[in-house]
Amino acid sequence: MRLEGKTAVITGAARGIGKEIAIRFAEEGAAVVLVDMQPSEETESQVRALDGPVLSLAVDITDYHAIESMMTRIHEWRGSVDILVNNAGIITREGILDLTKNQWQKIMDVNLNGTFYMCKAILPDMVAQRYGRIVNITSIAGVIGDITASPAYGTSKGAVNTLTRSLARQMAEYGITVNAVAPHAIETDMSAQWSDEKRSSVIESIPLNRMGTARECAHAALFLASDEASFITGETLNLNGGFLMD
C-alpha cells in the first residue's frame, strides 16, 4: 500500500473530487482527515468501510481560528500530518462586468487564502519531521484564464499555482514536495451546473472526447502524494483529456 502509516488531510472532502481523493488515499492505507464546511456522513461511512482510521471535521478553511482548533484535534488523534491536499474550492460564473467586489473577495478567501491558511497550519509538522507532501487542486483556468467561470476563479487558481512553486522552492530543503493538479471538465456537482449545450461544446473541444472523472483526479493526487513522485516538486500537472498540452 502506497500511503501506509501516513496521515493525510483533505479539504473539501465531503463530495466530488475531494471525496474520491479521500477514498483513494484510504484504499492505499492512509489515515484520512476529511475536512469540509459541510461534512457528509455518507462520505465518512464510505471511507470508514475501507477499514482505515478516519476523522471527519467541520471546518471552514477561511476561518484561521477554526483551522488552529482542527490542528489540535488532529494532533490528539494521530500526531503530525504527512500529506495535505488543498482541494476545497468554489466557483462563480459572472463576467468581469457583472462581478462584484464581494464575489471577488469570497472566491479569493476560499480558493487562495484558505489554501494558504492550511499550508501555514500544517507545514510546521512537515518541517519538524523533515517530510511532507502538499497537493493543491487548482484548475486549467489558473493556467490559461477562465473559459466558463468568473475571472476571480482563474485568478485565484493561478495564484495557487504560483504559491505551489514558491512553497516548493522554500520547503525543498525539509524534504517537502509541493505540487498541483490542474483539472478541466470533471464530472462533479460543480460542472453539473453547465447547460447541455455547453457540456457538448466542452466535450467536442477535448481530444479524448469526454469529461474526466473525480476518480481520475484522485489517481493524479495519489501519485503526487506518494513516494513514487519523490523527485517532482513545483509541478502543475494538467488533467484535461488533452485540451491543453504544455
Ligand X SMILES: NC(=O)c1ccc[n+]([C@@H]2O[C@H](COP(=O)([O-])OP(=O)(O)OC[C@H]3O[C@@H](n4cnc5c(N)ncnc54)[C@H](O)[C@@H]3O)[C@@H](O)[C@H]2O)c1
d(CA 43, CA 104) in angstroms, rounded, equals 30
Stretch that binds ligand X, among 168-176, 178-186, 199-207, 224-232 (CB under 6 A): 178-186
Give the nearer residue to ligand X in terms of CB position, either 106 or 127.
106
- 48, three cell numbers: 470508514
179 or 191: whose CB is closer to ligand X?
191
| Rounded Cα gap, residues 54 and 44, in angstroms | 7
Nearest distance from residue 57's CB to ligand X, in Å? 10
Residue 180: in which H helix or E strand, if any? strand 176-183
Indicate whether 14 belongs to the interface with ligand X (CB under 6 A): yes
Amino acid sitting at position 71: M
Q: Is residue 203 within the footprint of ligand X (CB under 6 A)?
A: no
Q: Does 136 bind ligand X (CB under 6 A)?
A: no
Burial 5-27 (b: 16+ CB within 10 A, else e): ebbbbbbbbbbbbbbbbbbbbbb
Q: Rule CB under 6 A: say whether 15 interacts with ligand X.
A: yes
Residue located via cell numbers 513522485: 229
Catalytic residues, by residue number, are 153
Residues that bind ligand X (CB under 6 A): 11-12, 14-18, 36-38, 59-62, 87-91, 110, 114, 137, 139, 183-186, 188-191
